[in-house]
A = this chain, B = another copy of it.
Amino acid sequence: MRADVHRFSLKDPSDVSGLNEAIEKGDIDPGKIVAVIGKTHGNGLVNDYTRGYLTLCLSQLIGGRMGVSAESVRKRVPFVFSGGVEGVLSPHYVVFMVDPDADASGEEKSLAIGVAFTPELSPSDVGRQRQIDATAEAVSQAVTSAGIESPDDVHFVQVKGPAFTTDDIVAAGNASLTCATENPGKLMGFGRAASALGVAKALREIPANEALEAAVLHNFDAYSSVASVSAGVEVRVNEIIVAGLSRTWSGPLTIAHRAIKDALDIDSVTDLARDLGLSPGPQVPAAQARRIRAAFVKCEAQRDGTIRGRRHTMLNDGDIDQQRHIRGAVGAIVAAVLNDTALFVSGGAEHQGPDGGGLIALIVEKMI
């Protein structure tokens, strides 16, 4: 098997011209697309419809090129979009392709990709044991299908789970289903948290008896160092994309990750760049930066209202959501090091990396 990754910029959330041209030119075989991850123009909160808009446009393009329905494409391919390109961040999407027939020499590890889906989740499943367990099971399937031998070789697990509006939550209540919270924005947080614990359970980052509903948004010592979870109203299942390394795969790409300890932890970003053979000085030179194929970052506003002992104001702000603040801040730090603004930076890092921090994963071309 052989994985490849292409990144395209987005003029607006319906702009699929980049992928279209690549298919046109023969650079991309639409049938080999297994997943898409991207950053769209919306606010990344409940009422962000740019994620669904791009999902529709891309699935129609791919379906049209393959002669199948957009719906069948969406059933097979996770489209994981996170809204919010605050500050220097640039809207874009990353297309993951797998050639199942390519040979691998077995000598060196290459980027390996697996995808899976949970069954449909209702508003009352969100943040609950059912979401933890269904996610864990789907992650295990994706790891197996990717032929990744050890959990240590998993470097990034992207999950996209459902968000629900007040409409849905009220309907659930009318059907006697109790939701973890009645606040739509907060329910997104419960869903991210439970899904992250599911990833941690599957990869044995935490023991199964800690991957419990009671730990959700409570025991922040329990976390996955490779899970990145987003939620959006445009999906009804947890979609899973696992990215790691395997000798059964060939190809030009590799992947690595690091935990981010807090919102100022620039050292982990430069360390990760060095892990992958880049030379951040502190900025990766433009010529080297071209080796970067995709960057994924999770981050969050520290819950105690401080960073390294000084107050921040993100949690008290009634005008700008804390997620928009922290994405803009951590996104800028990573962009300044990587010399690249087309980064997937997602807020809401509950149980995703250390409390108050997050994680970063980078897919780059191997050094030659």
Taking a contact as CB atoms closer than 8 A, the residue among B13, B85, B281, B307 that contacts A49 in the complex is B13
Interface size class, chain A: 35 or more
CB of A182 to closest CB in B, whole Å: 8
Residues of B within 8 A of A328 (CB): 86-87, 325, 328-329, 332
CB of A16 to closest CB in B, whole Å: 12
Residues of B within 8 A of A282 (CB): 266-267, 270, 280, 282, 337
Interface-facing stretch out of A37-45, A72-80, A142-150: A37-45
Within 8 A of B (CB), among A304-348: 304-305, 307-308, 310-321, 324-326, 328-333, 335-337, 339-342
How many angstroms from the CA of A311 to the CA of B167 in the assembled complex? 8
Residues of B within 8 A of A324 (CB): 320
What per-residue 1/0 map shows which CB atoms of A262-283 lie under 8 Å from chain B? 0111110010000000001111
Q: Assuming A266-B337, A310-B341, A339-B308, is B86 touching A316 (CB within 8 A)?
A: no
* Residue positions of A touching B, CB distance < 8 A: 9-14, 41-50, 52-53, 56-57, 85-91, 165-167, 170, 182-186, 233, 263-267, 270, 280-283, 286, 303-305, 307-308, 310-321, 324-326, 328-333, 335-337, 339-342
CB of A88 to closest CB in B, whole Å: 5
Question: Could you jot down 23 A-B contacts, CB within 8 Å?
Answer: A9-B311, A12-B52, A43-B318, A45-B319, A47-B317, A56-B56, A88-B312, A89-B312, A90-B312, A91-B311, A165-B316, A166-B303, A167-B311, A183-B186, A185-B318, A266-B282, A267-B283, A308-B341, A310-B341, A319-B319, A328-B332, A329-B331, A332-B333
How many angstroms from the CA of A90 to the CA of B182 in the assembled complex? 21
Q: A49-B53, A282-B337, A320-B324 are in contact. List 4 more A-B contacts (CB 8 A).
A: A47-B319, A48-B318, A165-B316, A267-B282
CB of A245 to closest CB in B, whole Å: 27
Residues of B within 8 A of A264 (CB): 88, 283, 335-336, 339, 341
How many angstroms from the CA of A299 to the CA of B268 in the assembled complex? 25
CB of A249 to closest CB in B, whole Å: 29
How many angstroms from the CA of A266 to the CA of B336 in the assembled complex? 6
Q: Is the CB of B14 within 8 A of A49?
A: yes
Q: Is the CB of A336 within 8 A of B333?
A: yes
Q: Is the CB of B53 within 8 A of A305?
A: no
List the 3 closest A-B pairs by CB distance, nearest first: A45-B318, A87-B329, A282-B282
